[in-house]
Amino acid sequence: TFVFRMFNIVLVDGVRTPFLLSGTSYSDLMPHDLGRGALQGLLNRTGVPKEIVDHIIYGIVIQEVKTSNVAREAALGAGFSDKTPAHTVTMACISSNQAMTSAVGLIAAGQCDVVVAGGVEFMSDVPIRHSRKMRKTMLSLNKAKTLGQRLSLLGSIRMGHLMPELPAVAEFSTAESMGHSADRLAAAFGVTRVEQDEYALRSHRLAKKAQDEGLLSDIISFQVPGKNIISADNGIRPTSMEQMGKLKPAFVKPHGTVTAANSSFLTDGASAVLIMSEEKALALGYKPKAYLRDFVYVSQDPKDQLLLGPTYATPKVLEKSGLTMEDIDVFEFHEAFAGQIVANLKAMDSDWFAQNCMGRKSKVGVPPMEKFNTWGGSLSLGHPFAATGCRLVTTVAHRLQKEGGQYGVVAACAAGGQVFLPKYTYAQLARADTEYSRGATVQVFLVHSFGLFSVHVLCMKMTMCKSVQKHF
């Protein structure tokens, strides 16, 4: 039987490697190398004793076949105890959100007190396979007993066998690529090319500013083995509207609006966070950065609403905790495409959409832009799929601290896969929330959405505790 605990769950700290454009300085590594970097960085920064870590959960989307449980390989390499179990989760672009909420679940269920969650993505190398025909021949070759059998199998190889199989770029269910979907989404909400370019430019400018002002303190330096030390993201490139305007559409031709410049780019990177029950964190003398309060996953039609999850999930998590849009101080939304973000903002501002697609009486309401992704986003910082979730959560905590806010929301959309969270997790977190409402609280919601038959939105509230001193 589970022992349901009434604990608050806290984010002690979070780190990430610099996010780099794929094919640049990280290009000779393997996914677990980057994961190792992030996990080691977390160990160093928090000084958490290895032996007290109960569990490690790590996310990844494109798996390296040699390290299918990348969590375990990365953890061992990073110097975690070989007695700490580790498992890998995957849920497209919200894989590390899944890692974090799984951690919350383990703590809430009384299974663990200290959990490390994170995610890694390595797009500089992806598994390209032999064709199915060739694989079949090769496997049969293994079993062939005589030379004659082997020769006849080898003789059956034709040109068609040699065509390699690339990882799918399209949604399995709809056979549509995400960029194509984003372009249609932008069109459905009347998002113009200029609006998209302007939003992308804003992301790059804000990221540059945050980088220059040293606000991106979640970054830990990463030494590429045998090579130089990397300390900063390399995808931030504020240009001009004019230059962005020159690009041709990348997916829908010739009249599309989504281009390379207003989409997130292929990125290598890893992230990690340390999550504990509040009791444990305080006992260990930590001053946690935020409470993780609540979360929600939603899902909807993968064809036309693939990237609209944030619109669906944000009001859901707000209503669940009795808050309104005005109560939120910090918004961190994952920027898959500029067109997707602007479409979501328009959807949130539309009564028609609320009434006809969400079954609401009136529109959700738009987050004020001065609170929205003010330190840049996935468009400029980069988007290593399974590492983005932890970046968003850590950034919310840092922004709340820096700007003195109380509540924050995270939202992200994703594709392919789905999860149902057990009810007790909700109940537990909600109760923790009411208990804490008397103190001075800072809360963060994590809202992640998910495109599939169903979309999941993940939403977490975080509460910052000011009363606790951090002692080492």
Partner 1 sequence: MAGVRAVGILSRFATSKYSRLSGHGHRSLSMSSSLLARTYANYEIKDGVAVIRINDPNSKVNTLSKPLQAEMTEILEEIWGNSAVKGAVLISSKPGSFIAGADLNMIQACKSAEEVTTLSQEGQKMFDKIEKSPIPIVAAINGSCLGGGLEFAIACQYRLATKSKKTVLGTPEVMLGLLPGAGGTQRLPKMLGIPAAFDMMLTGRNIRPDKAKKMGLVHQLVDPLGPGLKSPEEATIQYLETVAIEAAKNLANKKLSVKKEKGLVQKLQDMVMGLPFVRKQIYNMVTKKVMGQTKGLYPAPLKIIECVQTGIEKGTTAGSLAESVNFGNLAMTSESLALRGLYHGQVACKKNNFGSPARDVKNLAVLGAGLMGAGIAQVTFDKSVRTILKDTTVEGLTRGQQQVYKGLNDKTKKKAITSFQRDTTMSFLTGQLDYRGFDQADMVIEAVFEDLNVKHKVIKEVEAVIPPHCIFATNTSALPIKEIAAASKRPEKVIGMHYFSPVDKMQLLEIITTDKTSKDTTASAVAVGLKQGKIIIVVGDGPGFYTTRCLAAMLAEAVRVLQEGVGPKKLDALTKGLGFPVGGAALADEVGIDVAAHVAEDLGKALGSRFGGGNVEVLKTMVQKGYKGRKSGKGCYVYEKKSKDKKVNPGVEEILKAYQLKPAPSVSGDEDVQYRLLSRFVNESVLCLQEGILPDPVQGDIGAVFGLGFPPCLGGPFRFVDSFGADKLVQKMHRYEEVYGNQFSPCQLLLDHAKDSNKRFHK
Instruction: Give the residue with the Cβ less far from partner 1, 197 or 233.
Output: 197
Distance CA 132, CA 137 (A): 9
Cα separation, 22 vs 385, whole angstroms: 12
Which residues have C-beta within 8 Å of that of residue 98, sequence separation ≥ 6? 59, 89, 90, 91, 389, 419, 458
Sketch the per residue contact string, 14 through 43, with partner 1: x for CB under 8 A, - otherwise. ------------------------------
Decide: is 303 part of the binding site for partner 1 (CB under 8 A). Answer: yes
Q: How far is the CB of 305 from partner 1 (least distance, A)?
A: 6
Applying CB under 8 A, among 125, 198, 279, 301 the residue interacting with partner 1 is 301
The least CB distance from residue 357 to partner 1, in Å, is 5
- Nearer to partner 1 among residue 182 and residue 236 (C-beta): 182
Q: Of 331, 176, 313, 332, give the one whose Cα is nearest residue 258.
A: 176
- How far apart are the C-alpha atoms of 125 and 416, rounded to whole Å? 21
Question: Which of 16-24, 97-105, 120-128, 303-311 is the region at the interface with partner 1 (rule: CB under 8 A)?
Answer: 303-311
Compare residues 157 and 187 and give the one whose CB is closer to partner 1.
Answer: 187
Nearer of residues 83 and 253 to partner 1, judged by Cβ: 253
CB of 356 to partner 1, least distance (A): 7
The yes or no reply on residue 304 touching partner 1 (CB under 8 A) is yes
- Name the residue among 460, 465, 335, 347 with its Cα closest to residue 410: 460
The residue (of 191 and 409) whose beta carbon lies closer to partner 1 is: 191
User: Among candidates 106, 101, 99, which has minimal Cα distance to 71?
Assistant: 99
From the list 415, 389, 399, 350, the residue with the least C-alpha distance to 95 is 389
Smallest separation (angstroms) from partner 1 to the CB of 46: 43
The rounded distance, in Å, linking the Cα atoms of 388 and 394 is: 10
Asked whether position 305 contacts partner 1 by CB under 8 A, the answer is yes
Distance CA 449, CA 418 (A): 10
Least distance from C-beta 97 to partner 1, angstroms?
24
Subset of 164-223 contacting partner 1 (CB under 8 A): 172-175, 180, 183-185, 187-190
Q: Is residue 148 involved in binding partner 1 (CB under 8 A)?
A: no
Query: Smaller CB distance to partner 1: residue 226 or 254?
Result: 254
Q: Least distance in Å: CB of 342 to partner 1?
A: 12
Task: Name residues contacting partner 1, limited to 327-366 (CB under 8 A).
Answer: 343, 346-347, 350, 352-353, 356-357
Active site residues: 93, 413
CA angle centred on 206, ends 326 and 35, rounded to 5° = 95
Could you tell me the CA-to-CA distances from 245 to 198, 201, 253, 265 in Å, in that order?
10, 11, 15, 17
- Binding to partner 1 in span 244-263, by CB under 8 A: 252, 254-255
Say which DSSP state 2 is in: -
Three-state SS for 326-387 is HHCCEEEECCCEHHHHHHHHHHHCCHHHHHHHCCCCCCCCCCCHHHECECECHHHHCCCHHH
Q: Does 454 bind partner 1 (CB under 8 A)?
A: no
> Which one, 140 or 356, has the nearer CB to partner 1?
356
Give the integer Cα–Cα distance in Å for 416 and 101. Answer: 18
With CB under 8 A, what is the number of residues at the site for partner 1? 27
Chain positions contacting partner 1, by CB under 8 A: 172-175, 180, 183-185, 187-190, 252, 254-255, 301, 303-305, 343, 346-347, 350, 352-353, 356-357
